[in-house]
Structure 1
């Protein structure tokens, strides 16, 4: 998502308001991602595509030591400043470009919520996130169902030919068996099986934790 295609002006204001209490963001995506985040006490958090600061507000409330947000829209960053005050470091930046203003190994946790499918330079962005995470740090990702890329770009999920924008990654993560999928909206659901992935019953979003290796090979 380049700065040119970010949510600016009236569109940004509408999105900031809707994301506060809509089904897609507030009641589907954020509960799943925050469950994956677990205890964030004392962590340094980077939010890629931070929008109006909804994740920042919740993570700081849960004890994060430092919150840094990046977004391509000044409209959304203005909303984030109003929500977070002086408790956050916010940058206006085009996510199609490297994160050169961030130091190596400077974060414990990175959050990328419903942003990945908007980015064209996905490999570059993932490499940059890996660079700024400390060894053993985590990246939380939520995105639309993978078939959405084929719907948008064409092709088929059964084809060996990958459509433009479908990125391969080498991040270590555990897979989840179909019978271990659980609905994050059910707070009483048993925490069994793989806790690195949450599939939502809507079939439209999945959320996943990726961990940077403690030691490079």
Structure 2
């Protein structure tokens, strides 16, 4: 199975409204990114522009979003038409070679998880490197490879489930089922060990590779709801990664 975002674009956009997306995913990623003042930023695998818009509103001086899915880019451009923020969107494959660019920051949400093997991962890392100027930074949220190392809890309370293969191997599927109020859809990611990620980035010219945990955004209206989020945070389905182009 290969996930075709042209077929699930509208559902995926709606899934961004799930509570874990705002309380954990968005909060954690934006906190790690930090200040965007004066930064030229590219969102690689931008989808319908959810994070692209947030990055622009957070202070990015120049903002570009690229995605392989024409339907996703159409949705992003429609949003830009309805609420202009000065964002440029392009249809691009993150695996393909691009001319050298000079972005200060590249951000990807759930890009690397679609690499079936080390060769495909390497092509993504090279593409990211080509988009950044020397000293430019890459930040991503990524499915946690350690899902194959611990007993996966029941994530249904958070709006999704995860199914794994009977055994772990490079390229093993990690199948997310996203449950919405009126429908559900599936997204297939692939297992590659974290040391392979580090090697791929190193070979593509990056340094200072680091993995960071997810965090829960405080919400005074929710009170102390840490117990509700315990399985998510103790057995995280995702991690954050950042590194710097040498």
How would you bin the TM-score normalised by the shorter chain? Answer: 0.7 to 0.9
3-state SS of paired residue (2:5): coil
More strand by share: 2
Deviation of 1:22 after TM superposition, in Å, equals 1.1
- Report the aligned-residue RMSD: 3.0
| 1:163 equivalent in structure 2 | 170
Whether the aligned pair in 2 keeps the contact of 1:153 and 1:163 (CA below 8 Å) is no
Deviation of 1:117 after TM superposition, in Å, equals 0.6
| 2:237 equivalent in structure 1 | 204
| 1:35 equivalent in structure 2 | 31
Deviations 1:156-175 (A, max 9, x none): 4xxxxx62462332232265
Match 1:51 to one of 47, 51, 74: 47
The residue correspondences of 1:38-187 to structure 2 (distance < 5 A) are 38-85=34-81, 87-95=86-94, 97-100=95-98, 103-120=99-116, 121-148=120-147, 155-156=167-168, 163-164=170-171, 166=192, 167=196, 168-169=199-200, 170=202, 171-173=206-208, 175=210, 183-186=215-218
Do the aligned partners of residues 28 and 64 (structure 1) sit closer, same or farther apart at CA in structure 2, a change above 3 Å counting?
A: same
3-state SS of paired residue (1:8): helix
Segments of structure 1 that go 5 or more residues without pairing to the other structure are: 157-161, 188-198
3-state SS of paired residue (1:143): strand
Q: Distance in 1 between matches of 2:214 and 2:3?
A: 34
Q: Distance in 2 between matches of 1:181 and 1:145?
A: 10
Q: Does 2:10 correspond to 1:13?
A: yes
Q: Distance in 1 between matches of 2:139 and 2:59?
A: 17
Whether the aligned pair in 1 keeps the contact of 2:67 and 2:91 (CA below 8 Å) is yes
* Count of aligned residue pairs for this structure pair: 188
Deviations 1:10-49 (A, max 9, x none): x211111221x21343332121111011110121111111
Q: Distance in 1 between matches of 2:148 and 2:114?
A: 10
TM-score, length of structure 1 as denominator length: 0.73
Segments of structure 2 that go 5 or more residues without pairing to the other structure are: 150-162, 172-190, 220-231
TM-score, length of structure 2 as denominator length: 0.65
Do the aligned partners of residues 149 and 83 (structure 1) sit closer, same or farther apart at CA in structure 2, a change above 3 Å counting?
A: farther
| 2:223 equivalent in structure 1 | none
Whether the aligned pair in 1 keeps the contact of 2:104 and 2:132 (CA below 8 Å) is yes
Q: Distance in 2 between matches of 1:26 and 1:181?
A: 16
Deviation of 1:200 after TM superposition, in Å, equals 4.4
Whether the aligned pair in 2 keeps the contact of 1:111 and 1:141 (CA below 8 Å) is yes
Q: Distance in 2 between matches of 1:163 and 1:181?
A: 23
